[in-house]
């Protein structure tokens, strides 16, 4: 019996050894295609920065897929965007809704980071992510780089926390009298939900998760042909509640599918408007890694990472994408939804899980940029030898940036 058990164990042991050998070979190959990104606490420099700039200059879209909450990544994005304006970059895609991006745009155009502090002092004024100091500074830097532009930020997502300023905007629009009552009911439901959240600290009461999309539909049904801005606000509110209603019901895939579709349609609306008004702009995109990977993403859907390379190809151009990860054992800032504040914690999205064969190639004393394209023939389909995460990242991104010894983003001080 012992002999039989030993024999049965051999194929598994052999497969494990083969996988380990393959990952070691992948690490060695990645080391041959890595470059240093130096950072002195203020400015980024080095061969990796030159490589990022060169790739962006040749592209229509420069996509940054990130693990949220790394302090140094928005600082890098800010430096790159300010530099790339000279090469035609005009827009920054961010992970908020289109109408909230317009509000952030106006606030930073008026008064930079202080404009955001003033905005965030109002109930519901602070959307997710941009209550981090470094993210707020990114917005201010990007807006200051194009002071005469009508708009710089393109929001493409839903809006979890900022329904109140959007509702205040809706109430200021000229609209049919028939819409007054359902809009008042919608606003009252939002206020009641946020009051319960404030009283309990229970994120389940956040209106973006607890609200009923039928309340928004009732407004839409009594407001035919709204102004384009009002229509986009209504669509944002309804879509947010639909997406999160699916999530609360335990229908995660359907929720993610709806959200991915919303991101794509919102981007296309921006893109069509921009190309109708002039030549196609160059666009930097900074979103969670799941949204910008080519092909089927980590939630089993197809997002902007698949759409944008196809748009670029149709324009006779290209897109380039980089996945940004914290180094091993680095902390990131994670939103605590009970207090709406950011706390240093291990990476929440865990994009580095299963990528040890790549991450192990990083320098320990500098940030490391790894060119993934030369690794694709080695990885191939890759699922058996390297695992699905490696295959997805090598084929889904063009570069991997590992920020060893990175630090968590900090809280933006505001009233």
| Residue-wise pLDDT tens digits, 76-130 | 999 999 999 999 999 999 999 999 999 999 999 999 999 999 999 999 999 999 9
Q: Which of 345, 294, 267 is nearest to 95 (CA)?
A: 267
The dihedral built from the CA positions of residue 189, 225, 172 and 178, taken in this order, carries a sign that is negative
**Neighbour count for residue 73 (Cβ, 10 Å):** 26
**Smallest Cα–Cα separation from 388: which of 347, 348, 351?**
351
Position 91 scores a pLDDT of 98
Examine the pLDDT at 174 and tell me if it is beyond 70.
yes
Average of pLDDT values for 269-283? 91
Cα(403)–Cα(332) distance, integer angstroms:
11
The predicted structure's pLDDT at residue 7: 39
Q: Does domain 39-155+251-403 have CATH number 3.40.50?
A: yes
Is the pLDDT at 50 greater than 90? The verdict is yes
Cα dist from 381 to 16, 332, 390, 391, 396, whole Å:
18, 31, 10, 6, 12
**240 Cβ contact list (under 8 Å, min separation 6):** 97, 158, 159, 160, 163, 208
Whole-number pLDDT of residue 14? 67
> Residue 253 burial by CB count (10 A; 0-12/13-18/19+): exposed, middle or buried?
exposed
218-241 burial by CB neighbour count: b if 16+ within 10 A, else e?
bbbebbeebeeebebbbbbbbbbb
| Short-list 191, 150, 181, 376, CA closest to 277 | 150
In tens, the pLDDT along 327-345 reads 888 899 999 999 999 999 9
Given a cut of 60, whether residue 5 has pLDDT beyond it is no
How many residues comprise the chain? 415
- Tokens standing for residue 141: 């830097």
Entry pTM: 0.94
Tell me: pLDDT of 3 over 60: no
Q: Is the pLDDT of residue 54 over 70?
A: yes
Among 96-105, 127-136, 138-147, 344-353, whose mean pLDDT is lowest? Answer: 344-353
Mean pLDDT over residues 181-191, rounded? 98
149's CB contacts (< 8 A; 6+ apart) are 90
Strand partners, 287: 65
Q: 161 with 208: CB under 8 angstroms?
A: yes
pLDDT exceeds cutoff 50 at 156 = yes
Integer Cα distance of 182 and 127 in angstroms: 25
Give pLDDT tens digits for 294-338.
999 999 999 999 999 999 999 899 999 999 999 888 899 999 999
> Which residues are CB-neighbours of 253 under 8 A, at least 6 positions away?
299, 300, 301
**pLDDT number for residue 217:** 98
H or E segment and range at residue 80: helix 72-84
pLDDT at 2 over 60: no
How many Å apart are CA 389 and CA 356, to the nearest integer? 10
Confidence (pLDDT) at 329 = 80
Amino acid 66: pLDDT: 97
Residue identified by tokens 């008004």 is: 277
* Ordered strands of the 367-371 beta sheet: 44-45, 34-39, 367-371, 399-403, 319-326, 61-66, 282-288, 89-94, 153-155
* Residue 4 predicted with pLDDT over 80: no
Averaged pLDDT of the chain: 94
State the pLDDT confidence band at 15, using cuts at 50, 70 and 90.
low
State how far the Cα of 161 lies from the Cα of 237, in Å rounded to an integer. 11
Look at residue 38 in the predicted model and tell me its pLDDT: 96
Alpha helices of 315-399 — where are they, by DSSP H?
A: 356-359, 376-379, 388-396
Give the integer Cα–Cα distance in Å for 162 and 188. 15
Cβ neighbours of residue 136 closer than 8 Å, sequence gap 6 or more: 113, 116, 130, 412
pLDDT at 288 exceeding the cut of 90: yes
Tokens found for residue 77: 């994005």
Report d(CA 1, CA 54) in Å as an integer.
63
Q: Is the pLDDT of residue 236 over 90?
A: yes
The answer, yes or no, to whether residue 401 has pLDDT greater than 90, is yes
- Contact at 8 Å (CB) between 129 and 135? yes
Q: Residue 379 above 50 pLDDT?
A: yes
Q: Are 116 and 414 contacting, i.e. CB atoms less than 8 angstroms apart?
A: yes
Report, as an integer, the average pLDDT of 348-372: 93
Exposure string of 22-57, with b = 16+ CB inside 10 Å and e = fewer, is: bbeebbebbeebbbbbebeeeebeeebbebbbebbb
Report how far residue 397's alpha carbon sits from residue 306's, in angstroms, rounded to the nearest whole number.
Answer: 11
How much is the pLDDT for 17?
75
SS3 37: strand
- Whether the per-residue pLDDT at 1 is higher than 60: the answer is no
Q: What is the spatial distance between Cα 5 and Cα 9, in angstroms, rounded to a whole number?
A: 6
Per DSSP bridges, beta strands 319-326 and 282-288 are unpaired
């Amino acid at each position: 019996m012992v002999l039989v058990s030993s024999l049965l164990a051999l194929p598994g042991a052999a497969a494990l050894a083969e996988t380990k050998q393959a990952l070691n070979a992948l690490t060695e190959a990645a080391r041959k295609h890595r470059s240093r990104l130096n950072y002195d606490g203020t400015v980024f420099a080095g061969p990796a920065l030159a490589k990022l700039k060169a790739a962006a200059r040749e592209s229509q879209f420069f996509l940054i897929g990130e693990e949220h909450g790394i302090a140094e990544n928005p600082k890098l994005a800010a430096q790159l965007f300010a530099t790339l304006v000279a090469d035609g970059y005009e827009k920054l895609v961010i992970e908020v809704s289109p109408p909230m991006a317009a509000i952030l745009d106006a606030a930073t155009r008026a008064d930079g980071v202080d404009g955001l502090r003033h905005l965030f002092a109002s109930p519901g004024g602070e959307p997710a992510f941009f209550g981090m100091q470094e993210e707020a500074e990114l917005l201010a830097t990007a807006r200051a780089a194009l002071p005469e532009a009508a708009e710089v930020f393109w929001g493409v997502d839903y809006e979890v926390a900022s329904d109140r300023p959007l509702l205040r905007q809706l109430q200021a629009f000229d609209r049919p009298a028939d819409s007054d009552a359902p809009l008042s009911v919608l606003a009252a439901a939002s206020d009641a939900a946020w009051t319960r959240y404030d009283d309990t600290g229970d994120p389940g009461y956040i209106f973006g998760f607890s609200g009923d999309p039928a309340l928004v539909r009732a407004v839409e049904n009594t407001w035919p042909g709204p102004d384009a801005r009002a229509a986009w606000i209504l669509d944002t509110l309804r879509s947010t509640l639909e997406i999160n209603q699916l999530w609360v019901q335990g229908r995660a895939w359907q929720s993610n599918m709806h959200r991915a579709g919303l991101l794509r349609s919102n981007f296309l609306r921006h893109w069509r408007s921009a190309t109708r008004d002039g030549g196609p702009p160059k666009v930097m995109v900074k979103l969670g890694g799941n949204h910008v990977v080519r092909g089927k993403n980590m939630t089993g859907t197809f997002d902007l990472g698949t759409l944008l390379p196809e748009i670029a190809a149709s324009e006779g151009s290209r897109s380039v994408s980089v996945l940004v990860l914290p180094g091993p054992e680095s902390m990131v800032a994670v939103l605590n939804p009970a207090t709406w504040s950011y706390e240093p914690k291990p990476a929440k999205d865990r994009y580095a899980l299963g990528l040890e064969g790549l991450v192990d190639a990083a320098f320990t004393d500098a940030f490391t940029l790894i060119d993934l394209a030369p690794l694709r023939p080695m990885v191939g389909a890759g699922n058996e030898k390297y695992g699905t995460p490696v295959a997805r990242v090598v084929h889904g991104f063009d570069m991997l940036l590992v920020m060893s010894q990175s630090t968590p983003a900090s809280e933006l001080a505001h009233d």
